[in-house]
């Protein structure tokens, strides 16, 4: 496929015409096996450090301790990123990155007090609130996203929960059906949902539900006060029990301490009965008028460390570079891909913030030999594709030591 790309590139250059940007589509290998959480935790190898166990893992485990995750998170960054890249290659096609497009289907006027959010009615952010979009306009937007290579279309509504929104839910059900009818994965982020609402969304064909925990349990009260961490976890449970894939992650740059709060966030998600199929990592986009405006920018090393730790701790999960990617130079994005990230949001907007455009991302993919991932949402890998490898030889250690728990 790379050869094909190169020859197309050469032909374009030779003709000196305006380059037509496109992706070379690689179909991600359909992967069998049980869903993420159904795999039993692999046995722990004797005599290996927790880091080596993670590097050599043959499947997800959800019996992590916070201390273990912290040990991984504290590894020298080069070693951590390389290890994460190695695990990534065992569980995922390394050049495949999922393209998702996120549309705001109802903007602003939200009663919650999430202190980073432009859509909260509590802050003066110059955002104009809108009503729920109509179904046709959403399907049209999904078609444009599909034509540009996205295979997941996400729809976000700014409100606390779905209570009393029967008509809204009916329209959202039609949107989900329409997106699925295009052959795309459909994801929604609609605040808190109960079991019944989750079932209705499942019946509509919803692929995944996004509900971020945002940060660690300990730091959470400094960010949001209008709903609790446990309420968020209850929504995740309702979604999971309805048979919908869980997309849940965090926002870096909320005044947290990475060593404890990034670890705490990963710990909560990695010890759920099943790992989320998707872990978005957002980089705070500071919005003037919100309490989080003025926070120090997220350091690249904290971003890479968070992604790499998540990759080692939740090896089968798709890790998304979400909001804030637009502020990252391409070289920084590549480091994140090498450390285990394998999905991005692309398109005109990401909710209320700017997003890297399709053409920009196509160019980046072609430069680096990346291809859009074609997932089968119902068949996310629970098993490694390749044999476990030991890192011992790279550190000059005795290779006769146990190499894997297989
Ligand atoms: S993040 Fe969601 S729930 Fe929180 S204020 Fe913004 S729109 Fe409302």
Give the burial class of 86: count Cβ atoms within 10 A of its Cβ; 0-12 exposed, 13-18 middle, 19 or more buried: buried
Rounded to whole angstroms, how far apart are CA atoms 142 and 150? Answer: 9
For ligand 1, which residues put their CB under 6 angstroms from it?
110, 112, 114, 117, 119-120, 158, 160, 191
For this structure, is 306 an active site residue?
Answer: no
Q: How far is the CA of 119 from the centre of ligand 1 (A)?
A: 6
229-243 residue pLDDT tens? 999 999 999 999 999
CB of 232 within 8 A of CB of 272?
no
CB of 69 within 8 A of CB of 258?
no
pLDDT at 391 over 50: no
120-153 residue pLDDT tens? 999 998 888 999 999 999 999 999 999 998 999 9
Residue with tokens 């959800």: 62
Maximum Cα–Cα distance for the chain, whole Å? 65
In the chain, what is the straight-line distance between the N-terminal and C-terminal CA atoms, in Å?
33
Q: What pLDDT sits at residue 375?
A: 67
Q: What pLDDT sits at residue 374?
A: 80
CATH topology assigned to domain 96-377: TIM Barrel (3.20.20)
Q: What pLDDT sits at residue 379?
A: 46
161-182 residue pLDDT tens? 888 888 999 999 999 999 999 9
pTM exceeding the 0.75 threshold for the entire prediction: yes
Rounded to whole angstroms, how far apart are CA atoms 98 and 143? Answer: 17
pLDDT at 276 over 80: yes
Indicate the range of 32-46, 64-78, 97-111, 333-347 predicted with least confidence.
32-46
Rounded to whole angstroms, how far apart are CA atoms 64 and 72? Answer: 11
**To the nearest 10°, the Cα dihedral for 84, 86, 92, 94?**
100
Q: What pLDDT sits at residue 243?
A: 96
Domain boundaries, the chain: 96-377
The pick from 113, 157, 191, 235 for probing ligand 1's pocket by mutation, whose C-beta has the most ligand atoms within 8 angstroms, reads 191
Which helix (H) or strand (E) is 15 found in, with range?
Answer: helix 2-15
Q: What pLDDT sits at residue 50?
A: 95
Question: 187: closest CA among 341, 320, 365, 316?
Answer: 320
- Ligand 1: atom nearest CA of 110 is 8
Q: What is the number of residues in the chain?
A: 406
- Return left, alpha or beta for 377; rule: phi > 0 is left, psi -120 to 50 is alpha, else beta: alpha
For this structure, is 110 an active site residue?
Answer: yes
Indicate the range of 299-308, 313-322, 372-381 predicted with least confidence.
372-381
For the chain, the average pLDDT equals: 84
Q: What pLDDT sits at residue 5?
A: 43
Q: How far is the CA of 397 from the centre of ligand 1 (A)?
A: 49
Which percentage of the chain shows pLDDT scores above 70? Answer: 80
Rounded to whole angstroms, how far apart are CA atoms 272 and 274? Answer: 5
């Amino acid at each position: 496929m790379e050869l094909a790309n190169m020859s197309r590139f050469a032909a374009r250059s030779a003709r000196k015409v305006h380059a037509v940007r496109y992706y070379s589509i690689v179909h991600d290998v359909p992967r069998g096996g049980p869903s993420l959480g159904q795999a039993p935790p692999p046995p722990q190898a004797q005599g290996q450090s927790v880091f080596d166990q993670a590097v050599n893992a043959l499947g997800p485990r959800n019996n992590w301790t916070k201390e273990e995750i912290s040990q991984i998170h504290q590894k020298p960054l080069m070693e951590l990123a390389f290890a994460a890249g190695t695990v990534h290659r065992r569980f995922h096609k390394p050049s495949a990155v999922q393209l998702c497009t996120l549309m705001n289907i109802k903007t602003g006027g939200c009663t919650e007090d999430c202190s980073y959010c432009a859509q909260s009615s509590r802050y003066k952010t110059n955002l104009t609130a809108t009503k729920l979009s109509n179904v046709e306009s959403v399907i049209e937007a999904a078609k444009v996203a599909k034509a540009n290579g996205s295979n997941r279309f996400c729809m976000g509504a700014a409100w606390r929960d779905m209570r009393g929104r029967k008509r809204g839910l009916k329209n959202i059900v039609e949107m989900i059906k329409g997106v699925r009818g295009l052959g795309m994965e459909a994801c929604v982020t609609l605040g808190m949902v109960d079991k019944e609402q989750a079932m209705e969304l499942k019946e509509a064909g919803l692929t995944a539900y996004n509900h971020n925990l945002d940060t660690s349990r300990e730091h959470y009260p400094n960010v949001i006060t209008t709903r609790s961490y446990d309420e968020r976890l209850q929504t995740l449970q309702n979604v999971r029990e309805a048979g919908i894939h869980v997309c849940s992650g965090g926002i870096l740059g909320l005044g947290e301490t990475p060593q404890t709060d990034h670890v705490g966030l990963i710990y909560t998600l990695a010890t759920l009965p099943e790992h989320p199929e998707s872990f978005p990592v957002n980089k705070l986009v500071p919005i003037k008028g919100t309490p989080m405006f003025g926070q120090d920018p997220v350091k690249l090393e904290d971003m890479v460390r968070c992604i790499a730790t998540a990759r080692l701790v939740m090896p089968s999960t798709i890790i998304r570079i979400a909001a804030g990617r637009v502020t990252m130079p391409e070289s920084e994005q590549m480091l994140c891909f090498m450390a285990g990230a394998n999905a991005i949001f692309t398109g005109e907007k990401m909710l209320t913030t700017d997003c890297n455009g399709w053409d920009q991302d196509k160019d980046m993919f072609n430069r680096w030999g990346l291809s859009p991932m074609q997932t089968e949402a119902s068949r996310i890998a629970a098993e490694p594709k390749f044999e476990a490898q030991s890192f011992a030889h790279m550190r000059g250690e005795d290779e006769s030591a146990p190499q894997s728990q297989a």
